[in-house]
C-alpha cells in the first residue's frame, strides 16, 4: 500500500507526523481526499477534523483553520491550533463551548459576534473529534 508523509504543524510545533494512506480535510471549497501522488496544491482549511487513514484505522486531528499544502510525496497542514483526538481536554472544550454560547445569547453590543461564533465552532469541532476517538 502506497503512503504519503503527513505533518500537522502549529506555531507551537508539530502535532502529528506519520506516513498515511489517505488524508481527508475540509477545505474552504469543500471536502478534500488526498492520496499518494496527488497533484501539488495549496488550500485554505475550515475549522474541522482532518482524517488520516492508516492501516485500516482512522486517526483524527482537530484543526482551527489554516492551510493545507500538497506535494506528490507529502502533505503539510499549517494550523493556528491543532490537537489529536486523544489529546483534547473534553472538559475544557465543554467550558469553552458554554462560554461562547453565553456570549452569543447575551447580545451585548460590545460582543464581537464573529469571534464568538468562531470560538463556538472551534469548541464544537474539538468535542466532535474527541467524541469519535477510540
Alpha carbon distance 92, 127 (integer Å) = 10
Are both 60 and 24 inside the same structural domain?
yes
Q: What residue ranges of the chain have pLDDT lower than 50?
A: 134
What was the pLDDT predicted at 83?
A: 94
Residue 26 sits in the same domain as residue 79: yes
CATH number for the domain harbouring residue 102:
1.20.5.440
The verdict on 71 and 94 lying in the same domain is no
Q: Report the residue count for the chain.
A: 134
Q: Where are the beta strands (DSSP E) in the chain?
A: 4-10, 13-20, 22-27, 30-34, 41-54, 57-71, 74-78, 82-84
The residue segments making up the domain with residue 108 are 89-131
What is residue 134's predicted lDDT score, i.e. its pLDDT? 42
Q: Are strands 22-27 and 74-78 parallel, antiparallel or unpaired?
A: unpaired
The H or E element containing residue 94 is helix 90-106
Whether residues 56 and 100 share a domain: the answer is no
| pLDDT digit string, tens, across residues 34-58 | 999 999 999 999 999 999 999 889 9
Q: Give pLDDT, residue 110.
A: 66
Residues 62 and 99 in one domain: no
Same domain for 106 and 57? Answer: no
Amino acid at each position: 500500500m502506497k503512503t504519503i508523509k503527513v505533518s500537522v504543524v502549529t506555531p507551537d510545533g508539530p502535532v502529528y507526523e506519520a506516513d498515511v494512506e489517505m488524508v481527508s480535510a475540509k477545505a474552504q471549497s469543500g471536502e478534500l481526499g488526498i492520496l499518494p501522488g496527488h497533484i501539488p496544491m495549496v488550500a485554505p482549511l475550515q475549522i474541522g477534523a482532518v482524517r488520516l487513514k492508516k492501516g485500516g484505522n482512522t486517526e483524527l486531528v482537530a484543526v482551527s483553520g489554516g492551510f493545507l499544502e500538497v506535494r506528490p510525496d507529502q502533505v503539510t497542514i499549517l494550523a493556528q491550533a491543532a490537537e489529536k483526538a486523544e489529546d483534547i481536554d473534553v472538559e475544557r472544550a465543554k467550558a469553552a463551548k458554554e462560554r461562547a454560547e453565553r456570549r452569543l445569547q447575551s447580545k451585548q453590543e460590545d460582543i464581537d459576534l464573529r469571534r464568538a461564533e468562531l470560538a463556538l465552532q472551534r469548541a464544537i469541532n474539538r468535542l466532535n473529534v474527541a467524541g469519535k476517538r477510540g
